[in-house]
Amino acid sequence: MKIYTKIAFLTAALAVLFSMQSCLKDQEDVFDKTPAERMNEYLNDVNKILQAPENGWVMYLFPIYSGSPTAGFIYTAKFDGTSVTFRSERDGNGEDTATSYYRLNNDNGPCLSFDTFNSIYHYWATPAASGDLYKGRGGDVDLVFMEVSKDKIVCEGKRLRGRIEMYPLEQDPESYIKECIAYRSSNRDIFFGVRWNGSALNAEFVDDGNLGKVTSNPARYIEFSYAGEDGGTVTDTKAFVYLPDRIRFYKNVNYNDLSVRDFKVDFTEVGETSIVPVNGEDIRFTKPLTYLSLEDFAGDYTLTYEKSWEGDTDFKTIDLTLEVNETEDGLILKGLNEKWQVNLTYDQWSGVAYLRIQDLGLSTKNAKEQTAYPRFCFADASYFNFLEAEPYGEVANIRGAVSGTIYENCVYSFIWDYFNVDETVINLRNTYTWSSSSKTRAANSWYIHTYSSRTGTTDRFSLVPESGFGFGAVWNEDVVTETGVTILPYVYNLTKK
Amino acid sequence: MKKFVNILLVLAAVVSLNTSCQKEDTPNENITIIVADQHEKTPFDYWLDQNFVYPYNINFQYRYEVTESSLSYYTVPADYEQSIKLAHIVKYTCIDAYDEVAGIEFTRKFFPKHFFLIGEWEYKNNGTFILGTAEGGKKILLAGVNYLNEHLAGGASSLNHYYLKTIHHEFTHILNQTKDFPVTFSQITPTLYIVDDWSSTSENCYENGFISRYARHSDREDFAEMLSIYVTNTQETWDGYIESAGGINSVAGTAIDNKLKVVREYMMDTFDIDLDKLRSTILRREKEVVDGQVDLTSVEIY
């Protein structure tokens, strides 16, 4: 047979085969609707779910500033179908709100787009003409839905790929945020190691300390470090967010075959363990070596001091007491004056007691017959101002702790005049005069100086009973010159009995 | 035999052609293939329909859409309230101004059909930022909308610098893309264009025959800067620029003036627009906006 004939027969046979292949199988659709219909339905359903919780959703937002998160923040979002109202912990109290529009659309998957500006939500996405901030602060405008149910929504930033989890709020958003802020306030700035499923890891707890203020690359993370296989040190940064009663990592943290997402503090534990995981996993965070409990501080003290006045020196001894307060979250310093007592706050994470500026809860008359509100305060803080018109009213201007500006071995002082330990009445005989030049310093007043003596810290003012804490009294040299009074500085000691 | 084989081949072809499905596979009108965005129209959307879409077929897109923005930059959506204000301002000082000077048909035909608003500027990593861009003769990106209130309070010069001059600048590009400008323009200061170095050079732009620093980028940008700066500044301000160049008789001053002549002729010859009339109209309308004579917040539909 000629080749042409062969080709012809083969072609004919193929044609017969082709004629048999079509329409023989009745192809069933896998889905009963088109992809577009299904996407529309899905987005409709998602929008209903978003609107469902009466109090809205809590959102854990972790900016992705340099490729990975370094801090998490609490946001709340209430959706009404077309607009969304945000709150966040960034304002320091969760009271500010901002409302804008949102849209659900399909762009490489189902998306949630906050497509008009929201000053609260878009903070992290907003760029600036300053250094690396031209890239913003690590926030995304559009989110892609990864998981949606009425109990939990997981999204991913479309551009920076940060994971955002949302959960229905069981309470009103403002109080929820306040609780998170409160938990953070009492649970930050601690250094510790950790035993994780039996093996030791170094762990440094890092919080940039900005409450209400935010930097471009905020820090709320634990830096774990351990020996790597090559003998070097491996360091992992694990960002977290503060919840009302616990701390939650960005994602599960895995070491030694143990995966942990949440942990919280349990100070009822005794021994080395001060922090335990929520779900009973085998991790043990250890206290700092210098950790002191409230009870460690409590006890009887003796204050010995020298008092000097215009050349006369007098030696005094006073019995003072530090007691745990009723709410068991601080201490009370008693004995300086029968009528007044001084409160000390206590940071249970770091085991440090703070002696801070505070109101004493009384008003009285000063030498000029003006109403005075005695406060226990430090006099050398840079923003401490005396105003002649209101010689004692000025102390109202210096509310807030100054502990952040106190450094070890630096000398700071507080006004002593109100604590006349020789008498049990308010002593105002040391009338105040003011420097005519600057009006910024008090003259003829006693100061008590406090010294930080906590071992192992460089930037904390604290009281350590074992070593006591010192008091001293000096005159402001400028004023001494002006008034012609010569007083030498003295140092006093408070020693635990 | 060969004849038989030929017949067989024809039959085979017919058979294979007849193997298509018998079932009718026509589109079902009730089934959509479009995924609709899940959002309802805002009051502003209805206002835009009446003031931008129906009369001019202009899409004033104030809601952020990632595909409309440049992924080379990081930005945020425009603020809703300030977008409304900007829409009023664009309508009153640009669209209505061109309507007044060149007729509504000119505006309908040439004015950009798509505005896309973003809240922030487009920041570059060298510290500079982009106020706006134009694409393909159709779309104008207006950036920094979230600073509108601030710049509105700064008066017409601030408004012009950050927004309106940008619109006129980009509109000039669009006009140029419709009809290119004469090559004589490019020959006035042909060797002094320095592309991206415009932002880093310490040389005085006026003394080199340019009306702005950015004009040194290229002849195309120079032309757009000439037109947009001219129509958004008073004669007094313009004369000040010429003085900065060394006066009208200096080399640089003459260069700027010659460029203006080309721009003026281009607008008159190509589009029958008197540049001075356009300027006085724009400036009058801008003054009315800055003086608070124009309601910038209403989204009422009449």
Model confidence pLDDT, tens digit, residues A445-459: 222 222 222 222 222
CB A431 within 8 A of CB A475: no
Whether B73 and A127 lie within 8 Å, measured CB to CB? yes
CB-neighbour burial class of residue B143 (10 A; exposed 0-12, middle 13-18, buried 19+): buried
CB within 8 Å: A141 and B32: no
Where residue A272 falls among pLDDT bands split at 50, 70, 90? very low
Q: Is residue B17 part of a domain?
A: no
Backbone angles phi, psi at A65, to 5 degrees: -85, -40
Q: What CATH number did the domain enclosing B102 receive? A: 3.40.390.70
**Topology of the domain covering A35-176:** Lipocalin (2.40.128)
Cross-chain Cβ contact A36/B32 below 8 Å: yes
Strand ranges for A268-311 from DSSP E: 273-277, 283-286, 299-309
Task: Spell out which residues of chain B touch residue A47, defining contact as CB-CB under 8 Å.
Answer: 38
pLDDT at res. B126: 80
**pLDDT for residue B128:** 81
Residue recorded with tokens 């440090």: A352
Average pLDDT of span B192-200 = 87
B2: in domain = no
- Cα torsion B242, B243, B247, B248: sign: positive
Long-range contacts of A444-447 (CB under 8 A, 24+ apart): A444/A479, A444/A483, A444/A485, A445/A379, A445/A415, A445/A416, A445/A417, A446/A307, A446/A415, A446/A416, A446/A417, A446/A473, A447/A379, A447/A380, A447/A413, A447/A414, A447/A415, A447/A416, A447/A472, A447/A473, A447/A474
3-state secondary structure of A333: strand
> What's the structural domain count of chain B?
1
- A205 vs A430, residue with greater confidence: A205
Residue A234: both structure tokens together: 């491996």
Q: Tokens at residue B127, please?
A: 């510290």
Residue B63 to residue A115, Cβ atoms within 8 A: yes
CA dist A240 and A251 (Å) reads 8
Q: Which residues of B touch A44 (CB under 8 A)?
A: 38
pLDDT exceeds 60 at position A276? no
pLDDT value, residue A100: 97
Q: Which two tokens stand for residue A115?
A: 């497509």
State whether B37 and A105 contact (CB < 8 Å). yes
Provide the Cα torsion B106, B110, B113, B115; round to 10°: -100
Instruction: Kindly provide the residue ranges of all beta strands, DSSP E only, lying in A392-443, ordered along the sequence.
Output: 412-415, 433-434, 442-443
Q: What's the CA gap between A184 and B48, in Å, rounded?
A: 47
Would the pLDDT of A190 be above 80? no
B20 domain residue, yes or no = no
- How much is the average pLDDT of A105-127? 93
**Contact (CB, 8 A) for A360 and A353:** no
β-strand pairing of A469-473 with A490-496: antiparallel
The verdict on residue B18 lying in a domain is: no
Rounded CA-CA distance B292/B92 in Å is: 12
Whether residue A9 has pLDDT greater than 80: no
Question: Is residue B119's pLDDT more than 60?
Answer: yes
From A59's Cα to the closest Cα of chain B, the distance in A is 19
Asked if the structure places residue B16 within a domain, the reply is: no
- The nearest alpha carbon in chain B to A135 belongs to B74
Reduced to 3 states, what is the DSSP secondary structure of residue A3? helix
- Residue B76: Cβ within 10 Å count: 27
Q: ipTM of this predicted complex?
A: 0.83
CB B87 within 8 A of CB B167: no
Indicate the pairing of strand A220-227 with strand A233-242: antiparallel
pLDDT tens readout for residues B154-177? 999 999 988 999 889 989 988 998
pLDDT of res. B54: 96
Give the residue on B whose Cα is nearest the Cα of A125.
B76
Render pLDDT for B40-91 as a digit per residue (tens, 0 to 9): 899 999 999 999 999 999 999 999 998 888 888 999 999 999 999 999 999 9
Contact A465/A486 with Cβ under 8 angstroms?
no
Which residue would you say has higher pLDDT here, A239 or B30?
Answer: A239
DSSP structural state of residue B77: P
Q: Who has greater pLDDT, A423 or A95?
A: A95
Domain that residue B138 falls in: 43-290
The minimal CB distance from A134 to the residues B2, B78, B124 is found for B124
φ, ψ (nearest 5 deg) of residue A384? -85, 115
Angstrom CA distances, B55 to A135, B48, B104, B178, stand at 38, 10, 9, 21
- Indicate the pLDDT class of residue A122, thresholds 50, 70 and 90: very high
**Residue B231 carries which side chain, given as an amino acid letter?**
V
pLDDT of A36-73, one tens digit each? Answer: 888 889 999 999 999 999 999 999 999 998 788 999 99
Greater model confidence, B26 or A191: B26
* pLDDT for A49: 97
Candidates A21, A28, A134, A216, partner chain B, best to mutate (most B CBs within 10 A): A134
- Cα distance between residue A384 and residue A44, in whole Å: 59
Q: Which residue has the tokens 């609490």?
A: A74
pLDDT of residue B59: 96
Whole-angstrom Cα distance, residue B235 to residue A467?
A: 80
| Averaged pLDDT for residues A116-139 | 91
Least confident of A90-94, A151-155, B248-252: A90-94
With CA atoms as reference, the chain A residue closest to B73 would be A135
Interface test mutation site (partner B, options A41, A43, A49, A116, max chain B beta carbons within 10 A)? A116
Question: Higher model confidence: residue A408 or residue A376?
Answer: A376
Q: Show the DSSP H helices in B73-181 as ranges.
A: 80-90, 96-102, 104-110, 148-153, 156-159, 165-178
Tokens linked to A450: 């406090």
Residue pair A302/A318 in contact (Cβ under 8 Å)? The answer is yes
CA atoms of A217 and A375, how far apart (whole Å): 38
Residue A391: partners with Cβ closer than 8 Å, 6 or more residues away: A366, A368, A370, A372, A432, A434
In this complex, do A116 and B80 lie within 8 Å of one another by their Cβ atoms?
A: yes
pLDDT (0 to 100) of residue A245: 85
- Spell out the residues 6+ positions from residue A326 whose beta carbon is closer than 8 angstroms to its own: none
Rounded CA-CA distance A287/A454 in Å is: 15
Whole-number pLDDT of residue A225: 84
Residue A203 CA to residue B218 CA, distance in Å, equals 57
Alpha-helical runs (H) found in A133-278: 173-186
Name the amino acid, one letter, at B152: L
Mutation for testing the B interface, residue in A18, A27, A117, A144 having most B CBs under 10 Å: A117
Tokens found for residue A302: 């003796």
Mean pLDDT of the residues in chain B: 89
Place B262 in a pLDDT band, splitting at 50, 70 and 90: very high
User: Which secondary structure element, helix H or strand E, spans residue A38, and what is its range?
Assistant: helix A35-51
Cβ pairs bridging A and B (under 8 Å): 150
pLDDT beyond 80 at B233: yes
The whole-angstrom distance between B31's CA and the closest CA on chain A is: 7
Residue-averaged pLDDT of chain A: 66
What lies within 8 Å, CB to CB, of A128 at 6+ separation is A134, B123
First-residue to last-residue Cα distance in chain A: 122
Q: Which two tokens stand for residue A347?
A: 């940071």
Runs of H (alpha helix) within A214-359: 294-297
Q: Give which of A23, A106, A115 to mutate to test B binding, by max B Cβ within 10 Å.
A: A115
pLDDT given at position A432: 27
Q: Which residues make beta-bridge pairs with A200? A: A195
pLDDT score, position A318: 65
